[in-house]
Chain A
C-alpha cells in the first residue's frame, strides 16, 4: 500500500509542484489549503507524513503541528515544516511544536524528496 502524504499550504503555486513531485515519487497525495482543514485531514486520513506550511489562514502550521502532537492516536506521523520564516526563533518554535524537520523556503525539491523517502523508509 502506498504511503499517504498530506501537503498543507495556502500557496497554490508551491502545492502544484509538491503534488506533482510526491505523486512521481509514488506517494498518495492529499491537499489542504488552510490550518483547520489540514488538522481535519490529519485526523481523518492519518497520513504517514505531512508537509506543513508555517503560515496558513485560520490556524498557523505551528498550531496544527502542536495540536497533532498532542493527539496520542497520531503517534508515528512525521511532520516536515516548510516555511518562509527563517529566523532562529521561528525554527526553535517549529521544533518546539514537535516538527521532525524544519525546511526554510526556498528549498531543493530533490533534497526534499530524499528527506521524505528517508523518513518513510
Chain B
C-alpha cells in the first residue's frame, strides 16, 4: 500500500466508522420497538424520507469531517513524533555521536524529547571523560615502554625478560646480536629461531639450569633477602660460555615471582684468553724451573775442586745458556703481556659525530688551528674507542703539523669502511712536511713524560695508523683504522632502533603452557609462522628444488617484522631461465649458500611451537615433505592456507590469488616475489581474514582446519 493510499484511508476511516455507528444505533433502536410501533415509525419515516435522508447525510458528513480532523491531530501531535523519537533513540543507542531528537509534537512529547537529550548529553560527557582517561593512561604506558626500550637499547649487556614458563616477553638488540653468534644457522643470518617474542629461552639456556637458578633465588627470597638474584655460567650446545645473571620479576614488587630478567655476557673469548694466559704462565713456570735446575746442578758441579778445565768450561756454558734462555723467555712473556693489555684496553662506544666535534674543539683550544669536520659522518656510525687517548693523538699530530713554518688548514673526516671506520686528519698536500718526519711522529711518545705513541694508540684499538696522499685532490692525511661499536657493524642494533616496539609483548605473561591445546585454541590467540618458498619450478616430485625460504611470525595478532627469517638455498641444480624474472634468484646469488639440508633444521627451529600458514601452502608443504627423508626434519604442526580460507569466505570470487585477496581485503603489499616479501603479504592477508572467519562462526584452529578441508580447493593435489 502506498503512503498516499494509507493517508486517504486514514482520512476516510472516521466517516466509515461513523456511518457504521449510526446504522448500528438505528438498528438497535428499532429492535426495542413492538411490531405496531415499528410499523408506525416506518410509516412516519417513509412519509418524510426525502428530508430525513438529506439531514442524515449532512449529519454524517459533518461527523466524518470532525472525526478525520481529530485523527489527523492525534497523528500529528502524538503518533508521528513518538515514532520519530523511537527511531532517534534506536540510532543513539548504536551511535553515541548521533544528534539528539528535536523537540516536536505534543508538549508532553516535547518534554520527553528534552529529557532524552539531557540523558544523551550526560552519557556523552561520561564517555568523553572515560576516553580521555583511557588515552592518558595509554600515553603514560607508551611513554614508559619507550623509556624502557631506550634504556634497554643503551645497555651494554644482553637483556631478556621471560615469564615463568621461560617464554620471551622482551629483549634488547644486544640479546639478538648474541643469539646471532649462538645460532647454528649458516651464513650468520640466524638467531631469530632462538630469540623472539613468545619463544622459549630454553633454546639458549638449558631448562634445568634455569630451574636451579630460580630455586636458588626463591630460597634466598624466602630467607628474607629482598634483592635475591642468581649468577651462573652455562655452556651452550654450540660450545660458547655464557655468564648469566637472573633477577626475579615479582607481582606488586615483592609478591610472587611472575617472571625473570636474564642478563647475558658472552665470556667465551674472555675465558679462552684467560685459559691462554694460564697456559703461558704455567709454561713459563715449568721452563724456569727446568732452567733453574740445570743452573743449580751446573753450579753444584763447579764446586767440585778437581774439575778439569774442559769440564769446568762445560758447566759454565750450561749456566750461560740457561741465563740466555731465561732472558729470551722473559722478553717473549713481556711482549705477550703488552699485547694482551692492548687487547684488554677498555674501549667505549661513542657516536662518530661526537668524537669529531670533541676532537675539533680540543685542537682549536690547544693550537688555535681550527679543524672542522669536512664530511658529516653517517648519523648512526658508532665507534668503539678510547676517546680520550684518540683525541690526545689527534691533538698531538695537529700540534706537530701546525709547527712553523707550516701551519696548514686541518680538517677531520670520518667514513665507514666495511666493518670498520676511517678517521682522517686531513691537510692540503702542498703544505705537507717531509714524509720521514711524518712517519717518525707516529712512533714518538705523545707527551714529555713518555707514555704511548700514536701508533701504540692505534694498536690499542686493534687498528692501524698510516700516512696517505690523495694526489688527485691534492690532500694528505693521517688515517686511523678504528673498530665500530660491537653490534654496530651488524644489523641487529639498527633493527633495534627502527623497530623497537616489536620487542615487546607483555600479553604473553597471561599465556599458559597447559592451555596450549592447539585445536581448541581461538585463532586470534595462536602463534603462527607464515612462510613462503621460492623454487626452481612447479614440480617438486620432478626434481624442482627450493631456492629461498622466507617467514614471519605472528604473535598475539601482531606481525613481528623485526624477526624475519630469510635464507637463500643452494638448490644443487640449475635454475631455469624462465623462472628467474618471477623469483629473482639467480645462480650467482645461490652460489656458496647453504644447502636445504643446512637451512631446513634452522627453519624448523624458527617455526617450533607455531601453526604454519601459507598461501597455496600445499605446494610448499609438498617440497618440505619431500625433504623429510634426506634431512630427517618433519613439519608436523597444524597448517592453514590463506587460499582455502579465502575460498571459504568468498566462494563466489573468481580469483583467490594473493594479490586478488589482498585487493578485496584492502591490504597494500610490496616486495612481492621474494620469499620474505610474499610471507609478509600472506601474513597481512591472514590477519585480515581472522575477523571475517569469526563472523562466520569459525573461531578455533580446529574449526578453521575442518572448514578448510571441506573447501573445494582442498581437493587440488600437487
Residues of A whose CB lies within 8 Å of any CB of B are 11, 13-14, 16-18, 20-21, 24, 55, 82, 84-86, 104-110
A20 to B299: give the CA distance in the assembly, Å. 12
Closest residue of chain A to B314 (Cβ to Cβ) is A16
B474 at the interface (CB under 8 A from A): no
Residue of A nearest to B295 (CB): A106
**Which residue, of B285, B292, B294, B318, has the highest number of chain A Cβ atoms within 10 A?**
B294
Alpha-carbon gap, A20 to B304, bound state (A): 11
B52 CB within 8 Å of chain A: no
Q: Give chain B interface residues in 277-298, CB to chain A under 8 Å.
A: 285-290, 292-298
- Return B534 CB to nearest CB of chain A, in Å: 58
Whether A17 and B318, one on each chain, are in contact in the complex, defined by CB atoms closer than 8 angstroms, is: yes
Are B294 and A84 within 8 A (Cβ)? no
How many residues of B are in contact with the other chain, CB < 8 A?
22
**Given A13-B322, A17-B318, A84-B290, 9 further pairs, Cβ under 8 A:** A13-B318, A16-B298, A17-B297, A17-B301, A84-B285, A84-B289, A104-B289, A109-B300, A109-B301
B321 within 8 A of A: yes
Q: Give the interface centre of B285, B288, B293, B298 by most chain A CB atoms within 10 Å.
A: B293
Q: What's the minimum C-beta distance from A102 to chain B, rounded to whole angstroms? A: 13
> What separation, in Å, do the CA atoms of A85 and B295 have in the docked complex?
17
User: In the complex, which of the residues A16, A24, A108 contacts B318, with contact meaning CB atoms closer than 8 Å?
Assistant: A16
Whether the Cβ atoms of B300 and A11 lie closer than 8 Å is no
Interface of B toward A, CB cutoff 8 Å: 285-290, 292-298, 300-301, 304, 311, 314-315, 318, 321-322
Task: Give the chain A neighbours of B315 by CB distance below 8 A.
Answer: 16-17
Contact A11 B289 (CB under 8 A): no
Cβ of B283 to closest chain A Cβ, rounded Å? 10
| Docked pose: A78 CA to B300 CA in angstroms | 24
**In the complex, A18 Cα to B290 Cα: how many Å?**
13
Q: Are A105 and B301 in contact (CB under 8 A)?
A: no
**Known contacts A17-B315, A24-B304; is A109 also within 8 Å of B297 by CB?**
yes
The residue in A84, A85, A86, A109 that gathers the most chain B C-beta atoms within 10 A of its C-beta is A84
Q: Which residues of A contact B290 (CB under 8 A)?
A: 11, 14, 84, 105
A86 to B193, CA, bound (A): 48
Question: B296 and A107: CB pair below 8 A?
Answer: yes
CB neighbours of A86 from chain B (8 A): 285, 289
Choose among B287, B301, B311, B322 the residue that contacts A84 (Cβ–Cβ < 8 A): B287
Give the residue name and chain of the A residue nearest to B300 (CB). A109
Using Cβ atoms and an 8 Å threshold, which residues of chain A touch B304? 24
Q: Which of B285, B292, B297 contacts A21 (CB 8 A)?
A: B297
B311 near A20: Cβ-Cβ < 8 Å: yes
Shortest beta-carbon contacts, A-B, top 8: A105-B293, A17-B297, A84-B289, A13-B294, A106-B292, A106-B293, A84-B286, A109-B300
- Interface of B, helix, strand, loop or mixed by DSSP: helix
List 13 interface pairs A-B (beta carbons < 8 Å), by A numbering: A13-B298, A16-B315, A17-B318, A20-B301, A20-B311, A82-B293, A85-B286, A86-B285, A104-B289, A105-B293, A106-B289, A106-B295, A106-B297
> Which single member of A20, A24, A108 contacts B296 (CB below 8 Å)?
A108
Question: Which residues of B lie under 8 Å from residue A21 when comparing CB positions?
Answer: 297, 300-301
Residues of B within 8 A of A82 (CB): 293
Residues of chain B with a CB closer than 8 A to A17's CB = 294, 297-298, 300-301, 315, 318
Of B290, B298, B311, B318, the most chain A CB neighbours within 10 A belong to B290
**What is the CA–CA distance of A97 and B261 in the complex, to the nearest angstrom?**
50
Known A-B contacts A16-B315, A21-B301; A106 and B321 likewise in contact (beta carbons under 8 Å): no
Contact in complex: A106, B296 (CB < 8 Å): yes
Contacts of B294 in A (CB 8 A): 11, 13-14, 17
Contacts of B287 in A (CB 8 A): 84
Q: Which residues of A contact B298 (CB under 8 A)?
A: 13, 16-17
Give chain A residues whose Cβ lies under 8 Å from the Cβ of B297: 14, 17-18, 21, 106, 109
CA distance A109 to B293 in the complex (A): 9
Closest residue on chain A to residue B298 by CB atoms: A17
Instruction: Report chain B residues within 8 Å CB of A105.
Output: 289-290, 292-293
**Nearest residue, chain A, Cβ from B311:** A20
Q: Which residues of B contact A84 (CB under 8 A)?
A: 285-290, 293
A11 to chain B: closest CB distance in Å?
6
User: A11-B294, A14-B294, A55-B286 known; A110 and B318 CB under 8 Å?
Assistant: no
Q: How far is the CA of A34 from the CA of B287 in the complex (A)?
A: 17
A11 contacts across to B, CB distance below 8 A: 290, 294
Chain A residues closer than 8 Å to B293, beta-carbon distance: 14, 82, 84, 105-107
Cα distance, A18 to B292, chains bound together (Å): 14
| Bound Cα distance A104, B293 (Å) | 9
- Interchain CA distance A108-B298 in the complex, whole Å: 11
Chain A residues with CB under 8 Å of B296's CB are 106-109
State whether A108 and B286 are in contact (beta carbons under 8 Å apart), knowing that A13-B321, A16-B318 are contacts in the complex: no
Interface centre among A14, A55, A82, A107 (most CB of B within 10 A): A14
**Min CB distance, A15 to chain B, in Å?**
9
- With both beta carbons as reference points, the residue of chain B lying nearest to A109 in the complex is identified as B300
B275 to chain A, nearest CB (A): 16
Which residues from chain B contact A24 at a C-beta distance below 8 Å? 304
User: How many whole Å from B281's CB to the nearest CB in chain A?
Assistant: 12
In the assembled complex, how far is the CB of residue A16 from the closest CB belonging to chain B, in whole angstroms? 6
Measured CA separation A105–B286 after assembly (Å): 9
On chain A, the residues within 8 Å of B289 by CB distance are: 84, 86, 104-106
CB-defined contacts of B295 to chain A, threshold 8 Å: 106
Shortest CB distance B63–A (Å): 129
**Closest chain B CB from A62 CB (angstroms):** 14
Select B300's contact among A16, A85, A104, A110, beta carbons within 8 Å.
A110
Closest to B317 in A: A13
Closest beta carbon of chain B to A113's beta carbon, Å: 10
Q: How far is the CB of B314 from chain A (nearest CB, A)?
A: 6
Nearest CB on A from B333, distance (A): 16
Report A-chain residues with C-beta under 8 Å of the C-beta of B300: 17, 21, 108-110
Contacts of B286 in A (CB 8 A): 55, 84-85
Residue of B with least CB distance to A90: B286
Q: For residue A55, which residues in chain B have a CB less than 8 angstroms away from its CB?
A: 286
